Chains A and B, each alone.
Chain A
Amino acid sequence: MSLIRNVKLIRKLTVKGYKCFSTSVNCNANSAESVVFPGATAPFVVKPELSLPSNNDPIPIYRIMDRNGQILESSQDPNLSKEIVTKMFRDMVLLNTMDKILYESQRQGRISFYMTNSGEEASHVGSAAALSNNDLVYAQYREAGVLVWRGFTISDFIDQCYGNSDDQGKGRQMPVHYGSKKLNFVTISSPLATQTSQAVGAAYALKRRPNNDRCVVTYFGEGAASEGDAHAAFNFAATLSCPVILFCRNNGFAISTPSDEQYKGDGIAGRGVGYGIPAIRVDGTDIFAVYNATKIARDYVLKDNKPIVFEAMAYRIGHHSTSDDSTAYRPAEDLEVWNTVESPITKLKNYLNNRGWWNEDEENDFVKQTRKQILSQISLSEKKLKPNWREMFTDVYCEMPRNIKDQLAEMEDHVSRHKEHYPLANFKSDN
């Protein structure tokens, strides 16, 4: 039955669409008695044709604002209110200020590790602003701006970096592995791209709920996109029709490896077509482009429960992490343009100045005040005790099993007899 239908279908296609598709199409070959291969529906040709990547134009980069903060195409101006745009700007500046201070605090040995977000603030804040705060986020580790937008406080960030008793993660993870149930931000794990297929699964579960209005967004770098998990995520999202935005932050580097050693195709957006997923590529330094594109992406994924590949182009201005020195693999002067005229913060500042919504004094005041707030939070967070060391044994399972209870008791006994060897004063006690 279906076989006959398929034969009819290919005949129809031959007549209607593909007959004069290319000069090498052989109409006889197409109209001959043939069946449709299960794996593809396509016209037949009698001469071999290589399908060259160069036959396709690269996916364009959507950009609506120039370096001076001028909107290039007025129809694309999202016309956001002063309140929203200034919140965007404050959040970006706050993130940048916090990055600088926490980076330095690692250098001073106050925290063990840090990763900055500089160069990518617009892709974080722009996308977060376009999403609903109820949309579930699966991030990689360089998306702190999404959390800032949603209301993760300076103390939330810094307590996590110190792993103190107010860290919601109970001091178990390295700095920058944030998470917030309240803010729908799944706690970060270090392995790369593992979050992407999880996001797809979460999207599948959400779409099954009655009147679902939530999508899932997963952020990952262009380096992480080389992991098998990213392939799994793309393919599962497409085949299982999941409302998920596969948000690639292409910042040019995976630690030291430049993107041209990471892939040969048209970036990550270029992969969409191979998976049967639409793609959009934006200038990740242009917050309004990111905002508009994210709105479009969100509407698209929720309308038909389909995924989208989103690629935000940017340049990682900071080192990969505090364990990295990027001058070993890229000249410092390359940074100059990205740090100044192409900086997402500078562009938005110019926009605000053009509108008369913000001025230098206000910025200086805001930075000064933010710095003060961060520094005083650091001294507060530093003084807070770490969680009770017994928390090491909790949350492995929902209920502590016998073997872990035994080990906890063993360690309690040991610690009680060798107190002097353990930094108990730094940890909360039972009392």
Chain B
Amino acid sequence: MFLQKLPSILPKHFNGICNVSPKRFSSHFTYTPDEKAPIAGPKVKMNMFQAINNALDISLQSDESAVLFGEDVAFGGVFRCSMNLQKKYGKERVFNTPLCEQGIAGFGIGIANTGSTAIAEIQFADYIFPAFDQIINEAAKCRYRSGNLFDCGSLTIRAPCGAVGHGALYHSQSPEAFFAHVPGLKVVIPRGPNKAKGLLLACVKDKDPCIIFEPKTLYRAAVEEVPEAPFESAIGQADILRPGNDVTLIAWGTQVHVMKEVADMAKAKFKVNCEVIDLVSILPWDKETVCNSVKKCGRVVIAHEAPLTSGFGAEIAATIQEECFLHLEAPVQRVTGWDTPFPHVFEPFYLPDKHRCLEAIRKVIEF
């Protein structure tokens, strides 16, 4: 538990843009902001934790029943997402809980059962497992098992996930696939500030329990012009970030930025146009956008940080072979973390970096 607190200070030292950081903290990706604003209107430059803070602020402002809680949330959260919110909304609405993830989840379900809005923070996705039973057996099944008499749809769980350069086994995991296997949940992952704000507001309003995994390396590294007004990003809808005709590249979270860079590299090196898709939503996921793209391109590379075996890429690949079999020009490639725990000093070798992704593109075009 002591260890759990350590990395809280690390992101502050972490720039995320490799060129200006010490070598040790160099990043495996180059963040690029969205080209299009989600809505019109005045905008403010925000990084991802500020955009999340803004979405939380809007949620607390617009819904008096809403409460925000978790470990160390009161002082602003170890990743600063709840900064100043206790000051603004009071200790009754923004508060610390004891250090107990299963309690946080159960407590949130109960709040949501009464119709009030519960926004729970799990400090790291790596520590969500004590809450697994509450999320899987209780939150996800509440509506179903009661014949729709009760539900906990007003529960949203936020958890920082993913590689951060130095997080090792217990501050780096991407556990989205575990939760993708659970009917009744919705699971989303933003790629930057705008998406984070839109998805978080959508999750809070959504009538089903939602988990939003926030790639922690983007909290500071990702900066965008974010509309001041509230807006929602559709859950279950993928975004085509770059259109192309030759190879479909599918990713989510931080990996989207790797894929965008890889698309440039593939264009330069292989003269191919890649279509880059941010899946955005893991459960439910946008089969239609993915399959339409694959039918057009015939070649596909899926990349995620989580391990290969039973990673969410497996689900996508299986669906692609089912739906797009005759359109495929090459076997579906998956570039992922290896089937090992997430290692500390070996992180550069573990991640599905741009070089491994580019190699996968070479394979599908040379097949």
Residues of A near any B CB (own CB < 8 A):
136, 138, 167-170, 172-173, 177, 179-181, 186-187, 189, 191, 194, 196-206, 208, 216, 228-229, 231-233, 235-236, 239-240, 394-399, 401-404
Task: Chain B residues near A168: list those with CB within 8 A.
Answer: 146-147, 149
Task: Chain A residues near B133: list those with CB within 8 A.
Answer: 191, 194, 229
State in angstroms the CA–CA spacing of A239 and B104 once bound together: 13
| 15 more A-B residue pairs beyond the given contacts A197-B110, A239-B98, with a C-beta to C-beta distance below 8 A | A168-B146, A169-B149, A181-B149, A198-B106, A204-B110, A232-B100, A233-B106, A235-B100, A236-B98, A395-B144, A396-B144, A398-B151, A401-B236, A402-B236, A404-B183
Whole-angstrom distance from the CB of A336 to the nearest CB of chain B? Answer: 38
Task: Chain B residues near A208: list those with CB within 8 A.
Answer: 65, 67, 92, 116
- Cβ A398 vs Cβ B150 within 8 A: no
State in angstroms the CA–CA spacing of A401 and B102 once bound together: 28
Task: Chain B residues near A403: list those with CB within 8 A.
Answer: 284, 287
Task: Chain B residues near A200: list those with CB within 8 A.
Answer: 106-107, 110
Question: Could you write out 22 A-B pairs with CB less than 8 Å apart?
Answer: A136-B114, A168-B149, A169-B147, A173-B145, A187-B146, A198-B110, A201-B110, A202-B113, A204-B67, A204-B107, A208-B65, A208-B92, A231-B100, A231-B103, A232-B100, A235-B100, A235-B103, A236-B98, A239-B97, A240-B95, A396-B183, A401-B284
Task: Chain B residues near A205: list those with CB within 8 A.
Answer: 65, 67, 110-111, 114-116, 118
- Cβ B146 vs Cβ A206 within 8 A: no
B134 contacts the other chain (CB 8 A): yes
Whole-angstrom distance from the CB of B151 to the nearest CB of chain A? Answer: 7
B108 contacts the other chain (CB 8 A): yes
Contact with A along B264-305 (1 / 0, CB 8 A): 000000000000000000001001100000000000000000
Task: Chain A residues near B118: list those with CB within 8 A.
Answer: 201, 205
Whole-angstrom distance from the CB of B324 to the nearest CB of chain A? Answer: 16
Q: Which residue of B lies closest to A181 (CB)?
A: B149
Task: Chain A residues near B208: list those with CB within 8 A.
Answer: 397-398
State in angstroms the CA–CA spacing of A399 and B148 once bound together: 11
Task: Chain B residues near A136: list those with CB within 8 A.
Answer: 114
Whole-angstrom distance from the CB of A211 to the nearest CB of chain B? Answer: 15
Q: A235-B98, A403-B287 are in contact. Are A202 and B114 (CB under 8 A)?
A: yes
Other-chain contact of B107, A179, A189, A236 (Cβ < 8 Å): A236
Task: Chain A residues near B98: list those with CB within 8 A.
Answer: 232, 235-236, 239
Could you count the A-B residue pairs with CB atoms below 8 Å apart for me: how many are there?
Answer: 156
B344 contacts the other chain (CB 8 A): no
Other-chain contact of B100, A169, A187, A201, A236 (Cβ < 8 Å): A236
Whole-angstrom distance from the CB of A242 to the nearest CB of chain B? Answer: 9
Whole-angstrom distance from the CB of B81 to the nearest CB of chain A? Answer: 20
Task: Chain A residues near B97: list those with CB within 8 A.
Answer: 236, 239-240
Complex A-B, nearest 8 residue pairs according to Cβ-Cβ distance, in ascending order: A201-B110, A197-B106, A232-B103, A187-B146, A398-B207, A198-B110, A201-B107, A202-B110
- Cβ B113 vs Cβ A201 within 8 A: yes
- Of the listed stretches B19-27, B135-143, B215-223, chain A binds B135-143
B109 contacts the other chain (CB 8 A): yes
Q: A191-B137, A198-B109, A198-B138 are in contact. Are A186 and B147 (CB under 8 A)?
A: no
State in angstroms the CA–CA spacing of A277 and B305 once bound together: 45
Task: Chain B residues near A194: list those with CB within 8 A.
Answer: 106, 133-134, 137-138
Residues of B near any A CB (own CB < 8 A):
65, 67, 92, 95, 97-98, 100, 102-103, 105-116, 118, 130, 133-134, 137-138, 141-151, 153, 183-184, 186, 207-208, 236, 284, 287-288
Task: Chain A residues near B113: list those with CB within 8 A.
Answer: 186, 198, 201-202
- Cβ B102 vs Cβ A228 within 8 A: yes
State in angstroms the CA–CA spacing of A76 and B151 once bound together: 41
Task: Chain B residues near A240: list those with CB within 8 A.
Answer: 95, 97, 107
State in angstroms the CA–CA spacing of A231 and B109 once bound together: 16
Q: Is the interface of B mostly helix, strand, loop or mixed?
A: mixed
State in angstroms the CA–CA spacing of A288 and B153 once bound together: 39
Whole-angstrom distance from the CB of B288 to the nearest CB of chain A? Answer: 8
Task: Chain B residues near A395: list those with CB within 8 A.
Answer: 143-144, 147-148
Among B95, B105, B111, B151, max chain A CB count under 10 A is at: B111
Among A187, A216, A396, max chain B CB count under 10 A is at: A187
Task: Chain B residues near A201: list those with CB within 8 A.
Answer: 106-113, 118
Q: A189-B141, A198-B109, A399-B207 are in contact. Are A179 and B150 (CB under 8 A)?
A: yes
State in angstroms the CA–CA spacing of A204 and B112 once bound together: 11
Among B110, B114, B141, B287, max chain A CB count under 10 A is at: B110
- Cβ A229 vs Cβ B134 within 8 A: yes
Task: Chain B residues near A229: list those with CB within 8 A.
Answer: 102-103, 106, 133-134
State in angstroms the CA–CA spacing of A235 and B96 once bound together: 13
Whole-angstrom distance from the CB of A214 to the nearest CB of chain B? Answer: 9
Task: Chain B residues near A172: list those with CB within 8 A.
Answer: 144-145, 147
Task: Chain B residues near A203: list those with CB within 8 A.
Answer: 110
Q: Which residue of A lies closest to B138 (CB)?
A: A194
Task: Chain B residues near A206: list those with CB within 8 A.
Answer: 114
Task: Chain B residues near A231: list those with CB within 8 A.
Answer: 100, 103
Whole-angstrom distance from the CB of A161 to the nearest CB of chain B? Answer: 15
Whole-angstrom distance from the CB of B179 to the nearest CB of chain A? Answer: 14
- Cβ A189 vs Cβ B137 within 8 A: yes
State in angstroms the CA–CA spacing of A187 and B148 once bound together: 10
State in angstroms the CA–CA spacing of A208 and B109 once bound together: 16
State in angstroms the CA–CA spacing of A323 and B129 once bound together: 30
Task: Chain B residues near A180: list those with CB within 8 A.
Answer: 149
Among A167, A197, A202, max chain B CB count under 10 A is at: A197
Task: Chain A residues near B207: list those with CB within 8 A.
Answer: 397-399
Whole-angstrom distance from the CB of B222 to the nearest CB of chain A? Answer: 28
State in angstroms the CA–CA spacing of A396 and B95 once bound together: 31
State in angstroms the CA–CA spacing of A233 and B133 once bound together: 15
Task: Chain A residues near B288: list those with CB within 8 A.
Answer: 402
- Cβ B143 vs Cβ A397 within 8 A: yes
Among B134, B144, B183, max chain A CB count under 10 A is at: B144
State in angstroms the CA–CA spacing of A240 and B188 once bound together: 29
State in angstroms the CA–CA spacing of A181 and B115 once bound together: 13
- Cβ A179 vs Cβ B106 within 8 A: no
Whole-angstrom distance from the CB of B79 to the nearest CB of chain A? Answer: 23
Q: Which residue of B lies closest to A402 (CB)?
A: B284
Task: Chain A residues near B95: list those with CB within 8 A.
Answer: 240
- Cβ B184 vs Cβ A396 within 8 A: yes
Other-chain contact of A236, B103, B147, B183 (Cβ < 8 Å): B103
State in angstroms the CA–CA spacing of A172 and B144 once bound together: 8
State in angstroms the CA–CA spacing of A180 and B148 once bound together: 11
State in angstroms the CA–CA spacing of A172 and B339 once bound together: 37
Task: Chain B residues near A196: list those with CB within 8 A.
Answer: 106
State in angstroms the CA–CA spacing of A403 and B97 once bound together: 36
Task: Chain A residues near B149: list those with CB within 8 A.
Answer: 168-169, 179-181, 187
